[in-house]
């Protein structure tokens, strides 16, 4: 599934991240790219072993968000990259690596830190079978997409683009199974909101639990 979540970060969290990044050391983004991605990656990333407190803010924000939790079923949010794109920088078409250390990359996300009006270009473009879609969200919002997709970042032509890119190892490996669980759980929660605990709610709850037992890794 591909979906957007607005306002994942609060105003205070955004301000804290921007204050720390303003004086942080960035390095060439090619240092964390795979052998073929190095050819198309032109950005800067926060130096490794720097910014653990910022990573904690991002992970906590995603962990408390119910949509992210139900749709992604994260086992581990890992490999966060604070990335900076200045004028002339871009990231050409690529697919994310399947494994990052000991974790799979099942679901990718981009959390926008810069306001969309602060820079020109820099759209995240996700390719489909017969079309492509460009995304440029407001600061504090996130877009979630399968790690298996081809995607790119268009060249920044004015201003500066700051984002956090991360990957999630999901409890449910198969994307079709994740989507099915999400659909059933959405209906279950809607029924509960409208009618409370009913026999139909109990049956759907049983189904969600039993599918998780069958599919979770």
Which residues line the annotated binding site for Fe cation? 94, 96, 151
Confirm if 86 and 44 have CB atoms less than 8 A apart.
yes
By C-alpha distance, which of 1, 41, 50 is closest to 21? Answer: 50
Binding-site sequence positions for 2-oxoglutarate: 161
Distances (CA, A) of 26 to 5, 158, 195: 27, 19, 52
Crossing angle for the helix pair 199-215 and 175-195, to the nearest 10 degrees: 160
Nearest to 84 by CA among 115, 43, 47, 117: 43
Contact (Cβ atoms closer than 8 angstroms) between residue 107 and residue 144: yes
Distance CA 107, CA 73 (A): 10
The annotation places the binding site at 94, 96, 151, 161
Strands 74-85 and 90-94, by their bridges, are unpaired
């Amino acid at each position: 599934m591909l979906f957007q979540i607005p306002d994942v970060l609060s105003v205070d969290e955004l301000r804290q991240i921007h204050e720390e990044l303003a004086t942080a050391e960035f390095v060439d983004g090619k240092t964390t790219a795979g052998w073929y991605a190095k050819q198309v990656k032109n950005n800067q990333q926060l130096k490794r072993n720097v910014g653990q407190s910022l990573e904690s803010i991002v992970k906590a924000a995603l962990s408390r968000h119910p949509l992210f939790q139900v749709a992604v079923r994260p086992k581990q949010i890992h490999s966060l990259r604070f990335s900076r794109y200045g004028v002339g920088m871009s990231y050409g078409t690529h697919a994310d690596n399947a494994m990052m250390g000991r974790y799979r990359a099942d679901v990718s996300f981009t959390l926008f830190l810069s306001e969309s009006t602060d820079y020109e270009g820099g759209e995240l473009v996700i390719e489909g079978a017969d079309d492509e879609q460009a995304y440029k969200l407001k600061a504090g919002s996130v877009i979630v997409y399968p790690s298996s997709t081809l995607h790119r970042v268009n060249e920044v032509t004015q201003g500066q683009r700051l984002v956090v890119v991360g990957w999630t190892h999901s409890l449910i490996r198969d994307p079709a199974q994740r989507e099915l669980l999400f659909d059933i759980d959405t209906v279950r929660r809607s029924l509960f909101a409208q009618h409370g605990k009913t026999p139909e709610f109990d049956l759907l709850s049983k189904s969600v639990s039993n599918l998780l037992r069958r599919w979770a890794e």
